[in-house]
Amino acid sequence: MAAIFFGWNRSIPGREHVSAEHFTQFLGYLGSLKAQSTITGFEPVFLRPRGGDLNGFILIHGDVQKLHALVETNEWIEHSMRALHHLDNSGYVFADTGSDVQKRMETWTKAIPPR
């Protein structure tokens, strides 16, 4: 199974209200994508204060082809652009989860040079 890891550091100071409003809207958007079977699920995560530049993320699960198509839609691009205006260090990356982790580990292990 594949996923999109959408992460951020924190709200840009003075933009916290915009971040809170957009977060609610984005979760609604993801809920509608799940209802349409575009994604299989999502999980928002807030990390506890510890320093560093990653303080929250949403893991969005789904079929790899559907996820790649999703990030090309106008709605996804608009949400991503909006996030850039109120979140510090926001962005997303594709990720492997579930049984695909084992496949990636096998590929990685084969790539290890011999001693």
Structural domains of the chain ordered from first start: 2-110 (3.30.70.100)
Residue 51: predicted pLDDT? 86
pLDDT in tens, 18-44: 999 999 999 999 999 999 999 999 999
Residue 95: predicted pLDDT? 97
**What CA–CA distance (Å, rounded) separates 8 from 110?**
33
Residue 50: predicted pLDDT? 87
Q: In the chain, which stretches have pLDDT less than 50?
A: none
Contact predicate 9/89, CB 8 Å: yes
Residue 109: predicted pLDDT? 95
Residue 111: predicted pLDDT? 95
Residue 4: predicted pLDDT? 98
Contact predicate 43/57, CB 8 Å: no
Contact predicate 46/55, CB 8 Å: yes
The residues pairing with 8 across neighbouring beta strands, listed in sequence order, are 56
